[in-house]
Structure 1
Amino acid sequence: MQVAFLGLGTMGAPMAANLAKAGVALRVWNRSEGPAARLAEVGAEPAASPAEAAHGADVLIAMLADDAATKAVLLDGGALEALAPGALLVNMATVAVAFGASLADQAERCGVAYVAAPVLGRVNVAEAGELNILAGGRADAIDRAQPLFDVMGRKTWRFGERPEQANAVKLAVNFMLASAIETMGEAASLAEGHGVSGADFLAMATSTVFAAPAYQGYGAAIASGTFEPAGFKLSLGLKDVRLALEAAEAARTPMLFAAVLRDNLIDGVAHGEGDLDWAALAKVAARRAGRL
């Protein structure tokens, strides 16, 4: 199986590296050349363009930043058109539901099977090959991608025959994560307002009633004020909450708290915090309470 992998950023690079180390015949492309050159050291073949990477590939995996980057590479960059009929396109980026549906339509017109497979997990999880993969698409198409998913992830969760259903699930999860960060930030500010250490409060809460990985990981970052290097930038969190609201409107689903989160994330970006880890959303609550 010849696999092409487009997008070697924070998440894409370790995912592609795991495929190469597993012996997958891998051709890679990235906008900047450095990551592709590093992948060559573990057996991947760098390509000069997205179309060159896609040419002759049985499976094309894309892990790009957003809708615009995905469109620029897959469509404007000619990668989708370079795939032969019968090939498989797997988009593992977090994109809008509407864009995911449009991409599925365009793949079908090219005779290419399409699976949306956004992931759950930060860079350390990607490095360990322990991602949770949220897959949407025809069962036979997901089955074709499954051996690759098994290398990159610990479990594949299937969410329907329409690829964009997986995109909706990913946006829903990211909304929940943003909500957890927001509530921890506000709760810690409440405790601090009464002379209690916010770090002590979060250590207790995330060891007892909220003893879950998301709360523990982000709670520790909030408690220590460690927001760099960013595992997931606050600006990308804003993008995903906006996409969740867009998807909610399309489904006539009110999401009142999502609108609050969007505005608080805008507050963070306006204060120059867009490149920090999105755990820095907690700084918005602290700032409003006069504790920054």
Structure 2
Amino acid sequence: MQVGFIGLGQMGAGMARNLLKAGHAVTVYNRTPAKADALVAEGAARAATVADACRGEAVVTMLANDQAAEEVVFGPHGLLATLPRGALHVSASTIGVELSERLAAAHGAAGQLYVSAPVFGRPDVAAAGHLFVVAAGAASAIAAAGPLLDAVGQRTFTVSDIPARANLVKLSGNFLIACVIESLGEALALVGKAGIDKTQYLDLLTSTLFGAPVYKNYGRLLAEPGDAPVGFAAPLGLKDIKLALSAAEALGVPLPLASLLRDRFVTLLATGGADQDWSAIGRLAARDSGQS
């Protein structure tokens, strides 16, 4: 398939590379051109503009936030204006429900296909092609996107024919992950201040009651000394919690834990954590108790 890929951050670069490996003809664009160099060396074509990445059958966007997605899609020479009629936009970005609704309406009016397909997984998972994809859109659009989604993920969950519902599922999932990080951090701070070995404690938890990967992976990041490598930056964590709260308000659903998490992220960013991984909110409890 002739596919453009827009957004070559830690997640996007790995996804684009897996599309290349699957045999797709990939044209890549990033606002910082140097981020495309490695993929071009591996066989991708370089797009000088957003429009240049939108000449084929499909385009995939993996962008940091709503503002970036709006600029790429609705700009005067953006995706909406240049993607051919009948072509497909797969939005893998974690964006708000309201923006996803706008994208679906705009693509529909332009005669273009639109699939919302945010993903679960950190950059190493993206590089390995083992992401979990949450997809929503019209059946014909989902079918057209299938080869692309298969190339970047180990499994695709189709949740609705309404694209924005995939974004709601993604936001709810990130909310749950943040809850795990915060609760793990508090528990590790509690036992750590009593002198219990955190790694041994984590092994006990993940070998018995809490064997899910999210506990193992984030528990390891919190139990090990030093800052975790940045796989998902703390400001993006705050962004996602705020989007979850916005969606919840629109639906009339109270999320008291999300309000707490918003404050924890604000605390982290206000105290020098803007360059840290979002898991750093799990270290606040230890810091607040005088352990670090």
8 Å contact from structure 1 (residues 21, 42) kept in 2: no
Aligned to 2:267: 267
1:78 aligned residue: 78
Structure 1 SS opposite 2:60? strand
Deviation, 1:66, is 0.6
Alignment size in residue pairs: 291
Aligned to 1:133: 133
After TM superposition, list the pairs within 5 Å mapping 1:199-214 onto structure 2: 199-214=199-214
Mapping of 1:132-151 within 5 angstroms?
132-151=132-151
CA apart distance, 1:47? 0.6
Cα deviation, residue 203, structure 1: 2.5
Q: Secondary structure at the match of 2:18?
A: helix
Q: How far apart, CA to CA, are the structure 2 residues paired with 1:265 and 1:10? A: 21
State the distance in 2 between where 1:270 and 1:239 align: 15
CA contact (8 A) 1:96 1:167 kept: yes
Q: Counterpart of 1:61 in structure 2: which amino acid? A: V
Residue identity opposite 1:187 in structure 2: A
For 1:287, the equivalent position in structure 2 comes to: 287
Question: Which residue is equivalent to 2:60?
Answer: 61
Q: Which residue is 1:225 aligned to?
A: 225
> What is the rounded CA distance, in whole Å, between the counterparts of 1:192 and 1:42 in structure 2?
47
Q: How much has 1:258 moved relative to structure 2?
A: 0.7
Structure 2 CA distance, aligned partners of 1:63 and 1:21? 18
Offset, 1:32: 1.0
Partners of 1:62 and 1:143 in 2: how far apart? 18
Q: Is the contact made by 1:51 and 1:80 (CA closer than 8 Å) also made in structure 2? A: no
The alignment partner of 1:93 has SS state of: coil
Q: Distance in 2 between matches of 1:269 and 1:94?
A: 20
Secondary structure of 1:134's aligned partner: strand
Point out 4+ residue stretches in structure 1 off by more than 4 angstroms. none
Q: Is 33-42 or 86-95 further displaced after alignment?
A: 33-42
SS of residue in 1 equivalent to 2:52: helix
Q: Deviation of residue 41 (structure 1)?
A: 1.5
Residue equivalent to 2:22: 22
Alignment identity in percent?
A: 44
State the distance in 2 between where 1:106 and 1:251 align: 23
The residue type equivalent to 2:74 in the other structure is L
- 1:226 Cα shift? 4.2
Please, what TM-score do these two structures have when normalized by structure 2?
0.97
Report the Cα distance in structure 2 between the residues aligned to 1:225 and 1:217, rounded to whole angstroms.
14
Q: 2:133 & 2:6 partners in 1: Cα distance?
A: 17
Asked if the contact 1:54/1:80 (under 8 Å) is kept, the reply is no
* Structure 1 Cα separation of the partners of residues 220 and 139 of structure 2: 39
Conserved in 2, the CA contact under 8 Å of 1:8 and 1:29?
yes
1:265-290 alpha-carbon deviations (Å, 9 max, x no partner)? 11111111122111111121112222
Alignment TM-score, normalising by the size of structure 1: 0.97
1:107 maps to what in 2? 107
Change beyond 3 A, Cα 1:226–1:166:
farther
Distance 1:193 1:18 in 2: 44
* Secondary structure, aligned partner of 1:267: helix
Q: Deviations over 1:219-260 (max 9, x none)?
A: 001001343420111111111011100000011111111100
Contact 2:228–2:280 (CA under 8 A) maintained in structure 1: no
Q: What runs of 5+ residues in structure 1 fail to find an aligned partner?
A: none
Task: Tell me which amino acid in the other structure corresponds to 2:229.
Answer: P
Find the residue that maps to 1:291 and give its secondary structure: coil
The 1:226/1:218 distance shift into structure 2, 3 A limit, reads: farther
CA distance in 1, matches of 2:167, 2:181: 21
Distance 1:72 1:96 in 2: 15
Q: Is the 8 A contact 1:2 1:58 kept in 2?
A: yes
Which residue of structure 1 aligns with residue 254 of structure 2? 254
Residue type at the aligned position of 2:116: A
Instruction: Report if the CA contact (8 A) 2:221-2:228 is conserved.
Output: no
Structure 2 segments unaligned to the other structure (5+ residues): none
Q: Residues 62-83 of structure 1: CA distance to partner in whole angstroms, max 9, x if unpaired?
A: 0011100111112114122101
Instruction: Provide, for residues 152-193 of structure 1, a one-character-per-residue CA deviation record: whole Å limited to 9, x for no partner.
Output: 111100110110000000000000000000000111111123
Q: Cα RMSD (Å) of the superposition?
A: 1.2
- For the 8 Å contact 2:135–2:166, the answer to whether it is kept is yes
In 2, Cα distance between the equivalents of 1:247 and 1:88? 26
